[in-house]
Amino acid sequence: MNIDSAVTAAFTARDYKSDVKPVWCPGCGDYTVLSSITKALAELALPPEDVAVISGIGCSSRIPAYLNSYGFHGVHGRSLALATGLKLSRPDLTVLVTGGDGDGFSIGGNHFLHACRRNVDMTYIVMDNRVYGMTKGQPSPTTEPDWDNALSPGGTGLRPFNPLVIALASGANFIARGFSGDPSGTAKLITEAIQTPGFSFVEVLSPCVTFRPDQRDWKKIVRPAPVVPTEDIGQAARRLMTDDGFNLGVLFSGKREPYKLASHKDEGDMASLEKQFAISRGIL
Amino acid sequence: MTDQINIDSVADLLAHVKAMESEAMDRYQDLAEQMEVHHNSETASLFRKMAEVESLHVQKVLERAEGIDLPHIPPWEYKWTDGEAPESVSGENTHYLMTPHHALQMALKAEKRAVNFFTRLLEQSGPGMIHDLAQELLDEEREHVELIQAWLAKLPEPDEGWDEDPDPPLLQE
């Protein structure tokens, strides 16, 4: 993807921020993800009114309020369904979906599978902190099996959900992982994700310093993936199945054609709609 | 992230300095807002003051760059040595009960990173305009370090247990 070709300098990252101040805990990784999103939008010179950011429920799902674009803070786990409907009815908009691991992979798990499968042109950014932070620290689908805390004594013992593998198997066209401690690198991934047609999935490791203070160590663990992006789904599958969850970068970039409504143009035409309406009422 | 700072023109260097100061200003503003949201007005004021100082630095860079066409550089292509603009304070160690002393310690760390950046640039650049400008910027950053150290010396050390809160906003029940 040729990022250099993006039209630049029309907007600054600040132009995408709203007057609403984030209420996240100081030190939360979501602050820098918000910054990465605004940097990516500025780099792509997308007018705020041409962007819609859809979310579900959770700390990270508050992002639409903090942006100056269109936004919809929707129902828990249903952000992808909302975004799919929006993108199909308004294909001219750049649609971003933001949320957390609980919203996206538990409550919204079913929608995640089918959004990947449908491959509608939008970008899904999941701030993964492996915990339900807003409801005070319950284990999420991506929590390690031995994470011991007051709400899961001894850990859940459950195998974590691997969102990147599931995304690949379900048909997502672009799969990447970023880290909130690397805001510029994450901005680059989001830029590439938006530029890649089809369903793009970006997992951003975003520490919850309140309920997972151990995640402060992530900055010592993450590293650039020692591979070049591949469009070979078999190669990507092998990489992701052996991945330890801390390799950063584009891990798959495919060539699937995004899903579009074939008859969208006709449906949007008022004369055509009126004609259909007349037929259904038996006027013609 | 790079070991070699490949800056090959004055315009390129000024673009880097402008980004460095702007990012620092934005980060201080963000931190001030975070503290305001958590009703820590004392530390919020300090972050606001730092944002104002950085804003003056941005103006100074723009004045210096007058008549020079600064190149557009995507955020991920700056030649920072550790991934982030050197003068930006790291937000990861903030706490809603942090004191102005903590805030200045963060600022000092950021200024020292800026000193390291220009020191390395100076070492890597041969004689010429980039070298001269890097020296000038290094001197300025060293001055900032001294100013913050002097400021820090006037502030009381935080008490033991400064982060203890009998009724924290988020508590696992």
The alpha-carbon radius of gyration of chain A (Å, integer) is 19
Domain range for B120:
10-153
Output the pLDDT for position A278. 74
Q: Which two tokens stand for residue A59?
A: 């700390």
Is residue B135 in a domain?
A: yes
What pLDDT is recorded for position A2? 44
The yes-or-no verdict on residue B171 having pLDDT over 70 is: no
The token pair at A254 is 């495919």
Work out the mean pLDDT of chain A and round it to a whole number. Answer: 92
Query: Using a CB-CB distance cutoff of 8 angstroms, which residues of chain A are in contact with residue B37?
Result: 21-23
Let me know if residue B73 belongs to a domain: yes
Of A22, A26, A184, the CB nearest to B76: A184
Cβ pair A56, A77 in contact under 8 A? yes
pLDDT of residue B78: 95
Confidence tier at A271 by pLDDT (50, 70, 90): confident
Q: Could you tell me if B150 lies within 8 Å of chain A, comparing CB atoms?
A: no
How do A51-55 and A70-73 pair as beta strands?
A: parallel
CATH number of B81's domain: 1.20.1260.10
Return the pLDDT at A25: 93
What's the pLDDT band for B173 if we cut at 50, 70, 90? low
How many domains does chain A divide into?
1
The count of structural domains within chain B is 1
| pLDDT value for A221 | 96
Q: What percent of chain A has pLDDT over 70?
A: 91
Q: What does residue A187 show for φ and ψ, rounded to 5 degrees?
A: -60, -40
pLDDT in tens, B95-114: 999 999 999 999 999 999 99
Contact residues for A4 (Cβ-Cβ < 8 A; gap 6+):
B74
- Print the domain residue range for A207: 3-280
Position A230 pLDDT exceeds 90: yes
* Residue B126: pLDDT band with limits 50, 70, 90: confident
Interface of A with B (CB under 8 A): 3-4, 6, 8-9, 13-14, 21-27, 29, 31-32, 35, 39, 43, 136-137, 149-151, 181-185, 187-188, 191, 207, 209-211, 216, 219
Looking at residue A7, its pLDDT comes to: 46
A5, pLDDT greater than 50: no
B160 part of a folded domain: no
CA dihedral over A116, A118, A124, A129, signed as positive or negative = negative
| CB pair distance less than 8 Å for B92 and A27 | yes
Query: Strand order in A70-73's β-sheet?
Result: A70-73, A51-55, A94-100, A122-128, A199-205, A174-179, A247-253, A223-224
| pLDDT tens, residue by residue, B5-50 | 889 899 999 999 999 999 999 999 999 999 999 999 999 999 999 9
* DSSP classification of residue A74: -
In a domain, B51, yes or no: yes
**Distances, alpha carbon A196 to alpha carbons A96, A166, B107, in Å:** 13, 19, 39
Span A186-194, mean pLDDT? 98
User: Which residues of chain A are within 8 Å of residue B38 when distances are taken between CB atoms?
Assistant: 26
Per-residue pLDDT at A255 exceeds 50: yes
In a domain, B164, yes or no: no
Of B84, B94, B171, the CB nearest to A26: B94
The interface predicted TM-score of the complex, written ipTM, equals: 0.92
CB B43 within 8 A of CB B35: yes
- pLDDT tens figures, B56-71: 999 999 999 999 999 9
Q: Give the whole-number percent of chain A exceeding pLDDT 90.
A: 86
Contact present, A184 and A13 (Cβ < 8 Å): no
Predicted local confidence at residue A281, as pLDDT: 66
In a domain, B170, yes or no: no
Q: Determine, yes or no, domain membership for B171.
A: no
Residue-wise pLDDT for A133-167, tens only, equals: 999 899 999 999 999 998 999 999 999 999 999 99
Both ends of chain A: CA-CA distance in Å?
51
Q: Let me know: does A74 contact A32? Beta carbons within 8 Å.
A: no
Instruction: Return the DSSP state at A97.
Output: E
Under the banding of pLDDT at 50, 70 and 90, the label for residue A111 is very high
Q: For the domain that residue A71 is a member of, what is the CATH number?
A: 3.40.50.970
* Residue A75 CB neighbour total at 10 angstroms: 14
Q: What pLDDT is recorded for position B91?
A: 84
- pTM for this structure? 0.91
Decide if A210 and B170 are in contact by the 8 Å CB cutoff. yes
Which helix H or strand E contains A53, and what residues bound it? strand A51-55
| Integer CA distances (angstroms), A275 to A263, B83, B114, B133, in order | 15, 58, 67, 70
DSSP assignment string, A13-30:
GGGGB-SPPP-SPTT-TH
Q: What is the mean pLDDT of residues B136-150?
A: 96
Q: Does residue B139 carry a pLDDT above 60? A: yes
Confidence of residue B83 (pLDDT cuts 50, 70, 90): confident
pLDDT tens column, A60-105: 999 999 999 999 999 999 999 999 999 999 999 999 999 999 999 9
For the residues A231-243, what does the mean pLDDT come to? Answer: 95
Residues of A in contact with B103 (CB under 8 A): none
Would you say residue B165 lies in a domain?
no
In tens, the pLDDT along A15-54 reads 999 999 999 999 999 999 999 999 999 999 999 999 999 9
